[in-house]
A and B are shown apart, each in its own frame.
Chain A
């Protein structure tokens, strides 16, 4: 199994509070991703990173920010949580390279966030 650890695995918080989810990898993969998964919507990309301090937005990035100060860590921050951000959040990594190589995604176990 790919070495991906997400923390916390479960969190309940209140509307308006900041929340940070952490993803840690031991595979030295270049690419890291944050997805959210909701019934009826499947997996939707929030943000991704293609290197240290290199990040870009996904399709549902509003209300979220990310940081990657080290290859192994990718943080997802909700500056002021809202009930619409109640979801299961998955971190994924890939050794996707430029050119013709593809690298499949490896996922963490997920972080279940409830915003009351």
Chain B
């Protein structure tokens, strides 16, 4: 059974204080690992797809990396507008279902 865990559950940062969020996964043949951002009262918004170990993707202050067992979402010099819940999900080669982790709730204080 595919599983995804995320840590920490919640993270508070000062503006400009860089950090990383972790997504650990077990999957029977990774087809893709996905990162989403979710603002309160909104649906998740797609950020990145990673396909294989060693791959990296960047978007503004965010960089996602992937190993065979985990993915990191690095946030460089965050701003208050980066405050949101960040979700990780995996898709395996055999299924059509995306399995989500519980998310990390990020707060960036000015």
Contacts and interface: CB of A to CB of B under 8 A. Distances in A.
**A and B physically associate:** yes
Interface string B84-96: 0001010100001
B14 interface: no
Nearest to B41: A110
A58 B95 CA distance: 11
| Interface size class, chain B | 20 to 34
Given A42-B87, A42-B101, A102-B49, A31 B44 contact: no
| Interface size class, chain A | 20 to 34
Contacts of B42: 109-110
Nearest to B4: A42
Contact of B97 (A40, A45, A102, A109): A45
B46 A50 contact: no
B31 interface: yes
B72 interface: no
Contacts, number: 53
Given A40-B102, A105-B34, A90 B96 contact: no
B43 A102 contact: no
B97 A58 contact: yes
B100 A107 contact: no
A105 B96 contact: no
A105 B46 contact: yes
Interface string B42-79: 11111001010000000000000000000000000000
30 contacts: A31-B96, A33-B98, A35-B100, A41-B102, A42-B100, A42-B101, A42-B102, A42-B103, A43-B44, A43-B87, A43-B89, A43-B100, A44-B100, A45-B98, A48-B97, A56-B96, A58-B97, A90-B44, A92-B43, A102-B32, A102-B49, A104-B32, A104-B49, A105-B34, A105-B46, A105-B89, A105-B98, A106-B46, A110-B41, A110-B43
Given A48-B96, A102-B31, A105-B98, 4 more contacts: A45-B98, A104-B34, A105-B36, A109-B42
Interface of B: 31-32, 34, 36, 41-46, 49, 51, 87, 89, 91, 96-98, 100-103
